[in-house]
Chains A and B, each alone.
Chain A
Amino acid sequence: MAISRSDVAKVASLARLELSNVELDTMTRDLQGIVGFISSLDELDTSGVEPLAHPLGTQNVFREDIPTDSLSLSEALQSAPRHDGKYFLVPAVLGETGSA
């Protein structure tokens, strides 16, 4: 599957990465090369093979519903680029909230 410049632009938008025109060209070239390289996987017949997402197959790891200390308000905000002492601040978000 060849990746086109407009594909790359769409991906950049999905990934929230601003790319200049020059960068878009370079990125397209780079990704074409890498995707071409990766496509060697198509040489392998993997029908009937189960995907391996977790290397060691652990299961059923839980914790008990017991409260632990939260960060203080100042600790929670300490790394924030902008805050008002109570909230994180971002440029205005209008319209509906996100998904859930």
Chain B
Amino acid sequence: MMMAAASQPTTSATTDVLSYTIVIGLEVHVQLLTRTKLFCGCSTAFGAAPNTQTCPVCLGLPGSLPVMNHEAFILAVRAAKALSCRIAEFTKWDRKHYFYPDLPKGYQISQFDLPFSSDGKLLVCDSKGRFAPRTVGIVRVHLEEDAGKSIHDESTGCADSRIDLNRTGVPLMEIVTQPDLRSPQEARAWLNELKLLLVYLKVSDCNMQEGSLRVDANINLHIPLPDGRIAKTPIVEIKNVNSFRSVERALLYEASRQWDEFNHTHAEIGSSPKQTRGWDDPAGVTRAQRHKEESSDYRYFPEPDLVPVTVSETELSLMTSAQGETPALLRSRLESQWSISAYDADVLVNQGIAFVGYFERLATILSDGKSASNWMQQDVMRMLNENTVAIESFPVRAEGLAALIAQVSSGAFDTSRARDIFSEMVKTGRSAAEVAASMGIADVGDDELMSLCRELVACNPKIVADVKGGKEQAAAGLLGQAKKKNPNVNPGKVRQLCLELIRAM
């Protein structure tokens, strides 16, 4: 992996600069989880054969007209409300004009001066304390339609680009943040928090690989100069990042690149137009893209084919009433309700609604949040990963796992035996009792245990001598033998009983 090392701020005789602040703002496009497109009834399903999900409306054929998808509007309002945005009472649609083969109408229906929401925020915390909690302001969230895809295969030397219009018209929510982020790490964490929120709200599946979430990052540096003034480097917009990790890597690279450039040129913001750079992930660098001069004149004007939308208070509460808990609220509730740590709550919530639901059912039955949390984080997670299954289709229900854990608490199985049983439960879908019986795991009766221990003590004079000599830990040597003779024995009980027998000798 090649990545330019982040330059450390230094003092130097010429620049005499002591440190710099990284300033980051994000522009996130999120595809909404509707069944159909924003203005027509074509399916939004991912992965269809090219140009099989189009109609006169999304193809922009002459005479076609758009009609707004109500569900898209509702999902967008829910998201904006959860982001603490103000929802406009009156909102309208605008046309944004540019010519491109993947934009069949020659304009995109979007929102310009009266977006449906504005002035929100989203807080991100790091449960490991690597950065202080950061509240990122949200300038606006608006609704617009997606464009299609143009595919150009340079390697074949083909003279044509191929256009697939399946994606035109898919509903997109555009979220624009204030430049409140102060490190690439924060940016990545914030994106994770945003994704978690939107997934919880069932507004989007935020899958960057499938293109349902796209990020452009804006970054510059604020550099305090010796004369007290703050120099600001020109803002760069980074495009073509395909994962949250790439966002972080690209921002790290770009920050150091801007630092180096400033030290060479002392160029400040305003000295050149805003630059766009593309992230080249394999090479680990950003590259300047061609400056398109007139692409910025979008000639916005109100969309005459769509009528404005008004949202009253009543309608707003109807739209947002069913939306469920946000991750932030869920974390604090789990913490207080189940007496688990903030870290634990964070891990659980990060796994999603279904996982949390499972945890809560488990914790309820056990009346023990901590135990449930441990089992979820360790054993359930491991089983999910090993078997590549999602919690929604997990073969063991919370009730079944609770029964197993109860057995462990009562001493019937030790933890390692319990894990074996659990593994088998997952494979077969059977109950703890059934699995234990079929594996021949049974509680070892007191008499049987006593005779086993007597045998062990009798056959291990050296260990007995060591224990009597004060080294109680030597008794551990008996446990392996005990397991060999009877795998069902509880090692703890064996140890305790053997010690008692030895002490009585």
Classify A-B as touching or not with yes or no (CB < 8 A). yes
Q: Which stretch, A24-32, A35-43, A84-92, touches the partner chain B?
A: A84-92
Whether A92 touches B152, Cβ cut-off 8 Å, given contacts A76-B165, A79-B61, A87-B163, is yes
- Contacting residues, chain B, for A63 (C-beta < 8 A): 41, 67-70
CA separation between A95 and B100, bound complex, in Å?
Answer: 12
Using CB atoms and an 8 Å cutoff, list the residues of chain A in contact with chain B: 10, 13-14, 16, 53-54, 58-73, 76-77, 79, 82, 84, 86-100
The answer to whether B7 has its CB under 8 Å from any CB of chain A is: no
Shortest Cβ gap from B87 to chain A (Å): 14
Interface positions, chain B 213-245, Cβ under 8 Å from A, are 239-240
Using CB atoms and an 8 Å cutoff, list the residues of chain B in contact with chain A: 29, 34-36, 40-43, 49-56, 59, 61, 67-73, 92, 96, 98-103, 108, 144, 146-147, 149-152, 154, 158-165, 172, 174, 239-240, 276, 278, 289-290, 294-295, 297, 299, 302, 304, 306-310
Whether A62 touches B147, Cβ cut-off 8 Å, given contacts A92-B159, A96-B278, is no
In the complex formed, the residue of B with least CB distance to A64 is B70
Task: Identify whether the interface residues of A are mostly helix, strand, loop, or mixed.
Answer: loop
CA separation between A95 and B287, bound complex, in Å?
Answer: 12
CA separation between A66 and B42, bound complex, in Å?
Answer: 9
CA separation between A14 and B54, bound complex, in Å?
Answer: 28
Q: Are B41 and A54 in contact (CB under 8 A)?
A: no
Q: Are A88 and B52 in contact (CB under 8 A)?
A: no
Whether A94 touches B154, Cβ cut-off 8 Å, given contacts A60-B310, A65-B69, is yes
Shortest Cβ gap from A58 to chain B (Å): 5
In the complex formed, the residue of A with least CB distance to B308 is A59
Q: List 13 A-B contacts (CB under 8 A).
A: A53-B302, A65-B35, A65-B71, A76-B54, A76-B59, A84-B162, A88-B101, A90-B150, A90-B161, A93-B100, A96-B240, A98-B100, A100-B174
Q: Are A65 and B164 in contact (CB under 8 A)?
A: no
Cβ contact of A96, chosen from B72, B92, B101, B276, cutoff 8 A: B276
Q: Are B69 and A90 in contact (CB under 8 A)?
A: no
Q: Are B99 and A99 in contact (CB under 8 A)?
A: no
Q: Are A93 and B150 in contact (CB under 8 A)?
A: yes
Q: Are B307 and A61 in contact (CB under 8 A)?
A: yes
Q: Are B56 and A71 in contact (CB under 8 A)?
A: yes
CA separation between A90 and B151, bound complex, in Å?
Answer: 10
In the complex formed, the residue of B with least CB distance to A97 is B150
- Contacting residues, chain B, for A61 (C-beta < 8 A): 67-68, 306-307
- Contacting residues, chain B, for A66 (C-beta < 8 A): 35-36, 41
Q: Known contacts A63-B67, A70-B54; can you find 20 more A-B pairs with CB under 8 A?
A: A10-B294, A14-B297, A62-B69, A65-B34, A65-B71, A68-B41, A69-B41, A70-B53, A70-B55, A73-B50, A76-B54, A76-B59, A88-B163, A90-B101, A90-B161, A91-B161, A92-B159, A95-B289, A96-B290, A100-B147
Q: Are A68 and B40 in contact (CB under 8 A)?
A: yes
Interface-centre pick from B53, B158, B172, B289 (highest chain A CB count, 10 A): B53
- Contacting residues, chain B, for A58 (C-beta < 8 A): 307
Whether A13 touches B42, Cβ cut-off 8 Å, given contacts A65-B36, A95-B289, is no
